Each structure stands twice: as structure tokens, then as C-alpha cells.
Amino acid sequence: MVGFALSRPRELEPLNALRHPVAGNSNGWFVWRGPDIPQDDDKFFAPLHIEHLDEYAPELGPYLALPPGWGVVLAPDYEDVWYDETLLDV
């Protein structure tokens, strides 16, 4: 399972993804479109089975093998992939 912001429209840019450590049924990925994550919305991310991710964010597919600690920002003609060890803090 990934945490996915289903409330954001598919056309919104950029696509953001952060991978935290695997926990329970989650593979650690949290994905959203558009600007920052709202700090006052505990239900911003909904569980989404990894098999359905291609319906919502097909462009993320090549990055899903990145291990915990990695982040991705994608937009037309833009790609930023980085490592952030603070994502490993639980």
C-alpha cells in the first residue's frame, strides 16, 4: 500500500513522492500532486494498493524501486530525485 492524496486532481503539478521506512501494510511511499502537504489534514493520504498506482501516477513507476529515504518531484520537463536521511526517522 502507498499513501496517496486522492483528493488532488490528476492534472495538478508537480507529482511529489517520499519514501519512508516500510511499516505494516505500507511500502513507505507517500504520493501527492501540487503544493505542500496540508499540516492540518490528518486524512490527506488515503491507502492505495500499489497495483492501482499506475492509474493515478504512471510516471512514478520507474522510481518505485528506490529504497526508503528517497524523494522524487516530477513535472513536464522536470525531474528531481534526492536522498534525505531524515525520512528514515520513525
Which pLDDT does position 42 carry in this prediction? 85
Which is more confidently placed, 62 or 41? 62
Assess contact for 22 and 43: CB atoms under 8 A.
no
DSSP character at residue 59: G
Task: Give the cell for residue 61.
Answer: 513507476
Which pLDDT does position 84 carry in this prediction? 97
Please give the mean pLDDT across all residues of the chain: 95
What percentage of the chain exceeds 70 in pLDDT? 100
Which pLDDT does position 39 carry in this prediction? 86
pLDDT tens digits for range 20-50? 999 999 999 999 999 988 888 889 999 999 9
Q: What is the mean pLDDT of residues 80-89?
A: 96
Q: What is the mean pLDDT of residues 59-82?
A: 97
pTM of this prediction? 0.93
